[in-house]
Structure 1
C-alpha cells in the first residue's frame, strides 16, 4: 500500500477535526488550558502583591547574617531576570569591611530564591554580582578586612523587622560578571588586580566541608610581588573542582585546570592559610603549550619584549611547590622544563633560531643553614643563521643569588631588540662572537663597585659589521674586540661611525658590571672608571649627542607642546644619567671636528669625565687660525659650560658666522674682514628643555682685529657729515682692539680708539640682545674738516692719529630701527670715565682666569695718546 505524498495537515484540516470532537471533551480541554495559564500567571501576580515584603525580608536577613554595614540604594523582586528562580535585585550596594573601608561596591547584587519563597519560607540559593569591585586586604599581622564578626548591622529603613528570621540560607551557586578584585597582602608583600569577566561557582557554601565547581574567565591586569610585576594584561581560564574544608582551613585541588594562551596546566594538591602566610603543597604539570607562554609568566622587567617570541617545539613541564610562604620564607620549588626540536622567532628580531635544545631545572638543595633554592639552565643550544651557540646558566639561592654563566659561539646582533622594552625601537645587524665567556660570583658583589673584585669574569667578545639604528639614527661598529678579565674590560680597536663621525677607541675600564646592572637611581653609586684613546678622521659632537635623544619624528608626532617638552626632559635626564657614571679620560686626536656651525681641524687634547662633568683641554686649528681650549661642562637637570678660549690669528668673519653673530645683526660676518686674536671667558647656561638661557649668559673678553675692514656698516651712515659716500662703503683700519663684557642680555664696550681710513673716533657703550643701542662717540673736529676737504683715498689708508683743539661728542640711543643721534659732551665724557673702571675690572678677571698678563688696551693707549683726552 502506497503512502500518500500529501502532508497530513493538508489531508486532515484542523477545523473539520474540531467539529468531530464532542462538547464534553472540548470543555475539559478548555479547563486544562485555563489551569495552566493560571499556574503560569500566579507567580507573576504573587510577585506584584508580595514582591516588596519578600525583598525587604531578604535585605533584613543579609544584615542579620553578615554583621557589617550594608548600604543598598534600591531593591525589587524579579521573576524574569533569573527564571526559573526569583531574584531580589539590590542596586548600588556597598558592603563595609572589618577595617572600616569598602569591601564590596556593586552596581547590582542579586539574591537568587526558589519559587517556593513566594508562598512559604524564603530560601536564598545563590548570589549574582554584576559590575562591581571587591577589595581584599591583609595586614602585616595577618588580619583581613573580611573578618566581619563583631560588627553591628546597619540596614536601610525597609530592611528591618522580624521577617529576617524566616529566611533560610541554602546557597549553592554564585555568578560574578565584570567584577574587579583588588588584592593587597602586606604579609606576603603581594598586590594584584584582576577582573572576573564571567565566573560560575557551585557548591554547598553553607557546609563545613564541600566541593566547589569552578568555571571562570579572569583578566589579570597586574600581579606585583615585592615591587616586581609578574603578570600584566593576561587572560586565564579556570575550571575544575576544589574541596574546601573550613574546619581544617584547607583548599584541595583535584585538579584545577589553568589555561593561559595555549598553555594548559593541571594544578593539584592543597593550600592552607596560616598565621604568617600560606602553606603550599602543589603539583603542576603540563604537556600542552609553547615556550612563549612560559616566558609570559616571567616578570616583564626581566623578559623585555621576549613576550613577542613565536616558538614551535616539544614542551613539557613538571614541578612541585611545597612549604611555607611567609614574610621570611618561600616554598620549595622542584621541577623541570624541557623544550626540544625547537624553533624561535620574533617579529622585532626578523631572524629565527633553529635546532633549539633547552632544559631548565628548579631544585631545593638542603644545606647546613636550612637549604637554598636553585635555578639552572644546564643546556641551551641551537643555531642562528647557521652559526652555532651554547650557553649555560646556574643560579643558587634566590635570597642571595650566586650566578655562574657561560657562553661560546656566535649570536646575530639582530637578536638584541628582543631583550629590550617594546617602547625602545632598535634595529641591529652584524654578529658578535663569544669565546669562552664566563661570569661567576654573587649578584650582590656584581652590583657593588667596592666588592666587584670578588667576581670572576673571563672571555672575549668580537664584533663584526655591527650596525644599530635607533631614534632615526644609525651607529655602526664595524670592528672591535672586548676582553674580560675579572673587573677589567679591555677595548681594542673598537671603531665607531655615525653619519658624520668616524673614530676608533682603545683603552681599559673597570666597574663595567656595576654600571650595567645599576638601577635607574644608581643607588650603589656605580662609576665607570676608564683610561682610553680616541683617534679618528671625524668627530661631530652634535651627531654623537643626538644618539642619546629621541627622534625628530617622535617629537613631531608628540602633538601638544607639553608632550614634546616632556620628551625633551626625558632626553636630558637620560644624558645626565649617562654622564653621571663616567669617570675617566680620553687622549683625543681628531682630524676634523664640528658642532653645529663650529668646525675645526687637527684637535689634540684630553677629554676628561668625572661624575656628570666633562673637561676638554687641547689645541685645534679652526677659522684659519688656532684655538686653545679649556672648557668645563656640568650635566645636570640643566647644563652649564664654563669655557676659556684663546684664539690666534683667526678669520674674523668666519668667527662671527660660526658663532651666529652673537645673536645680533648690527655687526655681522658680512660687514667685517680681518684677522683676530682673542681671549674669551664664557659661561653658557641651558634651561631644563635644553634651550640656551640668554638671561644667564655671561662673557668677558679681549679682542684684537688686525688689518681689518668694515663693509657697508649701517652705523657709519650717522657720520655722513664727516665722510664721503665712497668712504662709507669700505672702511679700512690697522688695528681694532678692546675689551668686552656680556651680561643681563647686554654687550658692554669700554672706551676704545678706532683709527680707520674714513674717520678716527673714540667709542664706548652697550648693545642689548633686544637691539637697543646706547653708544657714546668722540670725533676729532679738525680731522672732520680735513677729511671733507681732502680727496677720496682709493688706497683706504688709515688716517693719522692726531690731537685736535676741539672734538665733537655724540650719543646714539634707542631701538635699532629708530635710534636717535644727539650732541652731548657731558654724557660722553661721563661714560668714558665709567668705562675706565669697567676696562680694568674685565682685564683683572681675564688675567686671573688665564694666569698671564693681558696688555691689549695698554698697548693701544700707548700708541694713541689722544684716546685719553677728556677722560679727566
Structure 2
C-alpha cells in the first residue's frame, strides 16, 4: 500500500469520525426537543388522554434510518366511557426517514409495537370506548405517516360488546402489514399468528384455545374504499379456509366474496361449531372430510345481512358414541343453504339432497328442505330400518331396556315450524308408517315382547292414526289391538283438538297381583312408587275390551267384556260382563275426580247364579274370619248399587262406601256357625249345626262403615227364624233374632215354656223366642229381649227399598249411540 493511499484512508476515517461525532452531538442536543415534538404531534392523532413513560432516539436499530423508542405508552379510553387504559404498550418503535429527521419534517415509515394489551368495549347503547382518533384535518404537516410496514408483537386483545352479547379474547405472537400503507392505491400483504383464547356469541362458545394463522394479499384503493382480496388463507386449528373477492365501503359495506374449503377434517370442523354445550360432543368421535363452497354477496349493516349461499358435502364419514361404543359409518350428506339476506328471509332455503347413515344392518335415508327461516316450512322424508340397540339412543329412551326385534319406519312431513326446534303440528301434514316385527323391550318392571304389526296414518286423513292388528305379550299376557287415534298429534302438542282413541283390545290370561298392591304386601311406605291420580286433559277414549281370564289373588273371572269411555275427566264402563264364582256378573259404572286428590267409583252390578261359597273363597272371605266359605253355600242372585272413594294411593275411604244390595239366596246352607249354634245357650240342638233353607231375600245397606240387615225370615224344616241388626267394619255386632219353637222341641228337652221370659205364642200355635246378640264377633253376649227386639224389627220393616235407593246417585247407563265417537274427515 502506498503512502498516498494510507493517507487517504486515514483522512476518510477522520472525516467519518468527525461526522459521526457531529451526528451524535446533534442527536444528544435534539433528543429532548424531539420528545416534546413527538408528544405534541401525537395530540393531532389521538383525542383521548395518553402518556409516554420515556422516549429516546436509537440511531443503530434501523440504521441508516432513525429509530425512536418509546416505552410505557398508555392510551386511555375516550372520556365519555371512563378513564381506564384502552391500550397499554411496553415498547413502541417509530422508524423515520434519515433526511426528514434532520429537516425536522418527520416522516414515519415503519411502526413496530411490542407487548401491547388492548381492552375494547361496547356498552348496551352501542357507545364504544375505543373511538380515540382525531379527524384528518387536525393533523400537522411536520409530522406525517408514510408507513410501509406495521408490526405488532405479543398482542393481547380483550373485546366485550354488551349490545351484541359478544366477547373475544386472543393472544397474537405477530401481526405484520406490508405495503405503501399511506398511498391512495397500494398492495398490502399481511401475516398473523396467534391463538383465540375464547370467542362467545349469545353465550354460545364459538372458539376456545384455537390456534390461528392468516396470510393475505389485498389490493387497496382508498379513494374508492375498495378492497380486492387477491389471496386470503386462514387456518383455524388445522382447518383451512380460502377467501377471495372484494369489499367496498362508503356509508355502508358491500361484499362480493367467495369462501371455500376442501377436505376439512370433520372432527376439527365440529370443534368450531357454535354449540351451547360443546362438552356433550366430547362423548363422540368424528372421522371424515367436509367440503363446501359459498358466496357472500350484498350489503351488510346492523339490519341487513348479505345473501349467503353454501353448497356442502360430507363423504364417507363416521361417528362413534364413546360411552355406548356404537359406530355410525358410511355417512354421506350433501345439500345447500341460502339465507337470501337478513331482510328477505322468506326466500331462505335449506336443502339436504341426500343423507345416508349406516350402522351394521341399520340404514337411514333422509331428504329435507326448509323455506322461510323466520317461520320455516319444511318438507322431509325419512326411511329407516332400526336395530334394537339404536332405539335406546333415540329421543332419550334410556328407560327402555333389553330391546330386541325390528322396527321399520317411513315418515313424511310437510309443515310449519314455530322455531328451528319446534314443529307446529296443527299446521303440518305428517304421514307415518311403522312396522314392528318381534319387537321387545322392558320398561320399568314391565316386559313387552314380540310386538308385531303396523301403525300408519290414514291415506285420506293424516290426522288419523290406524293401528292394524298389533299383537304382542304384556308380561305373560297375550294381546291383540286394533283401532284408530284421531288427532293423535295432540299427544305431542296439546294446543290442537283432543286426541280421540277408538280401540279394540283382546287379551288372554291377565294376572293383576303385580299391578295392584294390597295393604298386606309388606310395603311399609305405601306412597313409594305411587303418583297422584291424574285425569288427562284433551283426550277422548273409547275401547272395547275382551279378556279371556282375569285373576287377582284368589279372584278369577273369565270371558270379561266391557266398553270403556273417557270423556270430560270421567271414565265410564258400560256393557260389562264376566263369569265368576260359577255364575255371571254384569253392570256399568263410572270413575271421576272428587277433589282433594281423591277419585270416586259409582256403579250398578247384577249377579246371577253365583255360588256364595265361591264368592267368599275368591274374595278371601272379605278379609275376615267371622263367617267364611266354610260356613256358607247356596246360589245367589241380586242387584248391587255402590259408591266408594279412593285416595291417591288407591287406598279406599271406608267411610265413603255406600252400598245397597238386593239379594236372593236359593238352596242355602249354614254350617257350623258358632254364633248360631250358641244362639240358645240353654240348648245344643244338632240341627243348628247344619241349617238349610230354600230361599232368602233381603236388602242389605252399607253406609258409614256399618252393615245394616233389615228384618228378614229364614224358613227351615226344624224351625223358623227372623233376624235384623247391624255389623260395623270394626266387627261390633247388634243382632236381634225371633225363633219359633214347637212344643215338640220343648218336650224333647223336658223344658217348659214358662222358663222363658221373652216368649209368646205365635199365631199358628208355636212359641216365639226373642234373643239379642251384642258385643264383638270374638266376644258377644246373648240375652232375651222381647220388647227391644220387637221395636228393632218394627224399625227395620219400616225401611223401604225405594227410600234406600234414593240415597245413592245411580250412574246413568249410556246407550250404544252415546258411546260412539264421530270420526270426521279433515
TM-score normalised by structure 1 residue count: 0.56
User: Which residue number in structure 1 is paired with residue 56 of structure 2?
Assistant: none
1:472 to 442, 445, 453: 445
Q: Give the 3-state SS of the residue equivalent to 1:418 in structure 2.
A: coil
Establish whether residue 615 from structure 1 lines up as the match of residue 615 from structure 2. no
- State the Cα distance separating 1:469 from its structure 2 match: 1.0
- State the Cα distance separating 1:678 from its structure 2 match: 2.3
1:358 to 302, 316, 333: 333
Summarize the Cα distance change of 1:514–1:663 in structure 2 as closer, same or farther, 3 Å threshold: same
Deviations 1:23-77 (A, max 9, x none): xxxxxxxxxxxxxxxxxxxxxxxxxxxxxxxxxxxxxxxxxxxxxxxxxxxxxxx
User: Distance between the aligned counterparts of 1:597 and 1:265, measured in 2?
Assistant: 75
* Aligned 8 A contact 2:288 2:317 in 1: yes
Deviations 1:741-775 (A, max 9, x none): 22323322222223457764333232232x23132
* Aligned 8 A contact 1:666 1:714 in 2: no
Q: How does 1:681-720 map to 2 (within 5 A)?
A: 681-720=641-680
Q: Give the 3-state SS of the residue equivalent to 1:656 in structure 2.
A: helix
Q: How does 1:260-279 map to 2 (within 5 A)?
A: none
- State the Cα distance separating 1:701 from its structure 2 match: 1.5
Summarize the Cα distance change of 1:465–1:494 in structure 2 as closer, same or farther, 3 Å threshold: same
Summarize the Cα distance change of 1:387–1:699 in structure 2 as closer, same or farther, 3 Å threshold: same
- Unaligned 5+ runs, structure 1: 1-113, 115-124, 128-135, 148-171, 176-180, 204-210, 243-253, 269-280, 792-799, 853-872
User: Distance between the aligned counterparts of 1:475 and 1:325, measured in 2?
Assistant: 59
User: Which residue number in structure 2 is paired with residue 629 of structure 1?
Assistant: 587
- State the Cα distance separating 1:284 from its structure 2 match: 12
Summarize the Cα distance change of 1:493–1:332 in structure 2 as closer, same or farther, 3 Å threshold: farther
2:691 to 731, 739, 748: 731
User: Distance between the aligned counterparts of 1:362 and 1:803, measured in 2?
Assistant: 109
Establish whether residue 809 from structure 1 lines up as the match of residue 764 from structure 2. no
- Unaligned 5+ runs, structure 2: 1-89, 91-114, 130-154, 174-191, 215-231, 244-256, 751-761, 814-826
Establish whether residue 675 from structure 1 lines up as the match of residue 635 from structure 2. yes
Q: Give the 3-state SS of the residue equivalent to 1:365 in structure 2.
A: coil
Q: Give the 3-state SS of the residue equivalent to 1:568 in structure 2.
A: coil
User: Which residue number in structure 2 is paired with residue 530 of structure 1?
Assistant: 501
User: Which residue number in structure 1 is paired with residue 721 of structure 2?
Assistant: 761
* Aligned 8 A contact 1:527 1:582 in 2: yes
User: Which residue number in structure 2 is paired with residue 22 of structure 1?
Assistant: none
* Aligned 8 A contact 1:738 1:750 in 2: yes
Establish whether residue 568 from structure 1 lines up as the match of residue 530 from structure 2. yes
Establish whether residue 601 from structure 1 lines up as the match of residue 558 from structure 2. yes
User: Which residue number in structure 1 is paired with residue 455 of structure 2?
Assistant: 482
User: Distance between the aligned counterparts of 2:797 and 2:338, measured in 1?
Assistant: 84
* Aligned 8 A contact 1:378 1:392 in 2: yes
User: Distance between the aligned counterparts of 2:401 and 2:304, measured in 1?
Assistant: 40
- Which one has the bigger strand percentage? 2
Greater CA radius of gyration, 1 or 2? 2
User: Distance between the aligned counterparts of 1:610 and 1:402, measured in 2?
Assistant: 35
- State the Cα distance separating 1:648 from its structure 2 match: 0.6
User: Distance between the aligned counterparts of 1:527 and 1:756, measured in 2?
Assistant: 61
Establish whether residue 440 from structure 1 lines up as the match of residue 397 from structure 2. no
User: Distance between the aligned counterparts of 2:735 and 2:764, measured in 1?
Assistant: 20
User: Distance between the aligned counterparts of 1:267 and 1:661, measured in 2?
Assistant: 87
- State the Cα distance separating 1:529 from its structure 2 match: 1.9
- State the Cα distance separating 1:495 from its structure 2 match: 0.8
Summarize the Cα distance change of 1:730–1:384 in structure 2 as closer, same or farther, 3 Å threshold: farther
User: Which residue number in structure 2 is paired with residue 864 of structure 1?
Assistant: none
* Aligned 8 A contact 1:680 1:699 in 2: yes
Summarize the Cα distance change of 1:393–1:568 in structure 2 as closer, same or farther, 3 Å threshold: farther
Summarize the Cα distance change of 1:819–1:368 in structure 2 as closer, same or farther, 3 Å threshold: same
Q: Give the 3-state SS of the residue equivalent to 1:685 in structure 2.
A: strand
User: Distance between the aligned counterparts of 1:385 and 1:366, measured in 2?
Assistant: 42
Q: Give the 3-state SS of the residue equivalent to 2:656 in structure 1.
A: coil
- State the Cα distance separating 1:497 from its structure 2 match: 1.8
User: Distance between the aligned counterparts of 1:358 and 1:584, measured in 2?
Assistant: 43
2:476 to 468, 476, 500: 500
Establish whether residue 833 from structure 1 lines up as the match of residue 794 from structure 2. yes
User: Which residue number in structure 1 is paired with residue 96 of structure 2?
Assistant: none
- State the Cα distance separating 1:465 from its structure 2 match: 0.8
TM-score normalised by structure 2 residue count: 0.59
* Aligned 8 A contact 2:306 2:341 in 1: no
User: Distance between the aligned counterparts of 1:803 and 1:266, measured in 2?
Assistant: 121
User: Distance between the aligned counterparts of 1:715 and 1:200, measured in 2?
Assistant: 97
Establish whether residue 389 from structure 1 lines up as the match of residue 364 from structure 2. yes
- State the Cα distance separating 1:721 from its structure 2 match: 2.1
- State the Cα distance separating 1:652 from its structure 2 match: 1.6
